Amino acid sequence: DGGITQSPKYLFRKEGQNVTLSCEQNLNHDAMYWYRQDPGQGLRLIYYSQIVNDFQKGDIAEGYSVSREKKESFPLTVTSAQKNPTAFYLCATTPGTSVYEQYFGPGTRLTVT
Amino acid sequence: GDSVTQMEGPVTLSEEAFLTINCTYTATGYPSLFWYVQYPGEGLQLLLKATKADDKGSNKGFEATYRKETTSFHLEKGSVQVSDSAVYFCALSDLVWDDKIIFGKGTRLHILP
């Protein structure tokens, strides 16, 4: 089955701890994205990567970091510098064709207390 | 920059009612337009798309027509069901920007039995 896997579905952390969210895809898509979703605010782009070993900041990159060592994987680290980390995090991919429809994973809900 | 504006929710309708969710956009290039749907606790799924002016996207009884003259892409369905209750996002990808998809803030739809 081709798809995007995000794990875990729910994640709980104490304030001050870094946490890494996993995103894996077997669609052979070139580009991968991380979004944050808060109630009533839609989707906000955190980071994105079009090729291995390269990534760009999105609109709200502060307090987050990413890596793209493999085409299939794009993990997101939420650092202790992120002031309001509790949110629903969505990973997405695009095949890199001219019509940039995105394919989304099921999301990870992070709660920091 | 490019942007998407969609009607604020929540929108509450009775089953079998006619649905319209308005979406307008601004873009400097030649965008492709999308509607995504998000069911509770899940990631987004592509509902339909249109890649050029006057194209009509359709899926699962939903339709939207790409109107360049009014810069609109309104979502319609003739008879909604309880299972259509979800959040709907209008989005565009613009070849000028090439890397990103711009999402609207989402419209929550409640269908009453």
For residue B37, the distance in angstroms to the closest alpha carbon of chain A comes to 11
B53: pLDDT strictly greater than 90: yes
Residue type, B112: L
Mean pLDDT, range B55-66, rounded to an integer: 97
B85: pLDDT strictly greater than 80: yes
Mean pLDDT, range A42-55, rounded to an integer: 92
Contact flag B43-A98 (C-beta cutoff 8 Å) = no
Residue B28 is given by DSSP the state: S
Torsions phi, psi for B84 (to 5 deg) = -80, -5
pLDDT band, very low/low/confident/very high, at A41 (cuts 50, 70, 90): confident
Mean pLDDT, range A83-103, rounded to an integer: 85
d(CA A98, CA A66): 25
pLDDT band, very low/low/confident/very high, at A54 (cuts 50, 70, 90): very high
Q: Which of A54, A79, A47, A78 is nearest to A68 (CA)?
A: A54
Supply the pLDDT for residue A23.
Answer: 97
A64: pLDDT strictly greater than 60: yes
Supply the pLDDT for residue B8.
Answer: 87
> Both tokens of residue B98?
């090439």
Which of B34, B43, B104 has its CB closest to that of A42?
A: B104
B7: pLDDT strictly greater than 60: yes
Least confident interval from A20-34, A51-65, A85-99: A85-99
Contact A103, A4 (CB under 8 A): yes
Residues on chain A touching B89 (C-beta within 8 angstroms):
42-43
